[in-house]
Amino acid sequence: MSMHRVLTTLGCVLTAVLATAWSPAPPTESAAPVAATTVRTHDGPVRGAAHDGYRTFEGIPYAASPVGRLRWAPPHRPAPWSGVRDATKPASACPQPAGEVPGGSTDEDCLHLNVTTPDGVGPARPRPVIVWLHGGGFTTGAGTSYDAHRMATRGDAVVVTVNYRLGALGFLAHSGLPGSGTFGLADQQAALRWVRAEIGAFGGDPHNVTLAGESAGGYSVCTQLASPAAAGLFNRAIIESGPCTGRPDRPFAPSSVPLSTARTAGADLAAKVGCGSARDVLACLRRVNVSRLLAAQDTDQQPTHTTPLLPSDPAAAITAGRFHHVPVLIGNNHDEGNGWAAGIIQAGHPVTPDTWPDVVASFFPSPGQAKAIVREYPVHRTDGGPVFGAVIGDANFACPTARTDGLLAAHVPVWRYEFADKHAPPLTSDTPPFPLGAPHARELPYLFDLGGRPRDLTAAQHRLADTMIDYWTRFARTANPNGPSSPHWSRHTVLTLAPDHIAPTPTAQPRHHCTFWNTLG
């Protein structure tokens, strides 16, 4: 295994470890019972749960169970049900290894979504809708990890969180298989079609839908911006730490791969599970146990472009202006790469002045590039971790986000932020080898209660969280995040988000090392 693959795999393992902090909190016996509430959908009525100021509806099917002949098929309409469907408990997460979901999941009957809506019957006008796509490297994650009640109540919005097929079950490509490499993206579109048809019954406005996500979820938003099949399914976009210009040679941020590459990976998977030489490879694959597929799939998963759903790499589509022209709110965290750097160091790969050139060369094998990076980011005796984190963050997130901002802003209104709370609460109890600052995913507890656990924030951080929710939900409502009680956010600035500093900075001001990365290519 190459050093590049070793380090990338360690980074992915770290992401899974971080995700365990999002696992649902165990129920307590003292929890007060909640009253039921029923909403009628076209497929049948669902009974949710009423809480203090909001209602939740969990585990609503938006597509048929993708099992048997529907494994690796485009999503189909769910079967209607008679009677009232219980929507007070979460449904299964899509198949995935252990991590964010304790013990993982092997249940393919997973194409469900969850709705959180404020109390109040018949508001003066329908509420804006935010559809949230979870992150997790297209390999892990679940919509139920994100308790959206604060966003719904403070922002007076309807929030929908979505499960979609992951790993090989979501992104397998094989010759002769319609939908190759994009089944998970097709699921997201099916969920958006469900929202368009059903969300009015929950008080939401089907004509004011914001598609939002973080990391792989943010990049999913990019793919839907570039997918002709998503036309008319959403009106605004929020992209958190998933820049649309991701590329496979920068492996920490999500990206897409061409169909030819995805088919090679699909053929390798078929061979690993004993189907490579079968007379009917796809029929054989559809009989393989889910656990065996999960064990055989690659750690890295990406959507596939040069396909009917995604004709172009999102970076190319956005560069050419061929995307759905909707307003966009986009951003990244100041120290995106520090979590990966810390995990790699803790796994036994120290970053010192002596080891630094080899570490860089593992990710940038071109000798000229590696030497230039070592010169631009010198490592001294005690700063190897933060320097390594800065390279990961700048190359994979900060600078691609800036490039995405510029490409989008040539066609649509764009608001760009940088989350910079250097004391953001950790997502695990582990002690890192150096202070992580504001790394990947640390903004999420400011928007959601992860796994239903109350956020552990200071009073100043609570105020920042409220401000962020205000910005996000005003953008969803009006396509402009500004309001009377928050610092003004200009379209030509980067808004810094920290408890003691919420202020815009001109985009012309140098940030990170993006001039260097633009020159490096």
336, 349, 418, 443: which is the annotated catalytic residue? 336
Alpha carbon separation from 474 to 112, 190, 257, 480, 483 (Å, rounded): 27, 26, 35, 6, 8
Q: Is 482 helix (H, G, I), strand (E, B) or coil?
A: coil
Within its chain, how far is the Cα of 23 from the centroid?
16
Q: Is 225 helix (H, G, I), strand (E, B) or coil?
A: helix
Alpha carbon separation from 213 to 93, 94, 172 (Å, rounded): 17, 17, 22
Residue 53 CB: number of other CB atoms within 10 A? 12
149, 305, 440, 512: which is the annotated catalytic residue? 440
Percent helix, strand and coil across the chain, each to the nearest 5: 35, 20, 45
* Those residues with Cβ within 8 angstroms of residue 71's Cβ, 6 or more apart along the chain or in another chain: 108, 169, 285, 286
* Those residues with Cβ within 8 angstroms of residue 345's Cβ, 6 or more apart along the chain or in another chain: 351, 384, 385, 388, 433
Within its chain, how far is the Cα of 155 from the centroid?
21
Q: Is residue 367 classed exposed, middle or buried when 0-12, 13-18 and 19+ CB atoms within 10 A define those classes? A: exposed
Residue 96 per-residue DSSP state = B
23, 215, 256, 312: which is the annotated catalytic residue? 215
Cα 108 from Cα 201, distance rounded (Å): 28
Q: Is 226 helix (H, G, I), strand (E, B) or coil?
A: helix
Q: Is 440 a catalytic residue?
A: yes
CA atoms lying within 13 Å on the CB side of residue 196: 14
Within 442-481, strands assigned E span: 449-450
Q: Is 215 a catalytic residue?
A: yes
Within 215-282, strands assigned E span: 236-240, 257-258
Work out the angle at residue 113's Cα, subtended by the Cα atoms of residues 109 and 115, and round it to the nearest 5 degrees.
150
Alpha carbon separation from 217 to 70, 140, 142, 214, 243 (Å, rounded): 24, 11, 11, 5, 10
What tokens appear for 354 in the block?
């002596």
Q: Which residues are catalytic?
A: 215, 336, 440
